Amino acid sequence: MHKKKEFSKEDLELAKYLKALSHPARISIMKQLASSTTCFCGEIVEVLPLSQSTVSQHLKELKEAGLVKGEIEGTKVCYCIDDIEWQKAIDVISSFLNNNFHKKIECC
């Protein structure tokens, strides 16, 4: 009997990044953070059609994936892109796309 193969570390990492980026609100948040050196959650709420609690939930998802980091400054949390983790995400996603979909496959 064959034992099922575990998912590779690379596949799990890829899924983590793609899941974090799989919502248009999180993509918009990442764009806002990329266009600024620092960004408070309140400022993000001002430019997105979402409530404070919804933005906070999306920031939590991005933070759990490691793409965003936050520091408490007074009564607010300052969020920014984690440059090291972002570069890892770029590398993992690029590798997946370049290594798996560059060949023309004959099918239906």
- Residue 3 tokens read as 């034992």
Tell the CATH topology of 9-94: Arc Repressor Mutant, subunit A (1.10.10)
* Domain ranges (residues) in the chain: 9-94
What is residue 77's predicted lDDT score, i.e. its pLDDT?
Answer: 81
What is residue 14's predicted lDDT score, i.e. its pLDDT?
Answer: 96
Q: pLDDT per position in the chain (108 positions), as tens?
A: 667 789 999 999 999 999 999 999 999 999 999 988 666 666 788 888 999 899 989 999 999 999 999 887 777 788 899 999 999 999 999 999 888 666 666 766
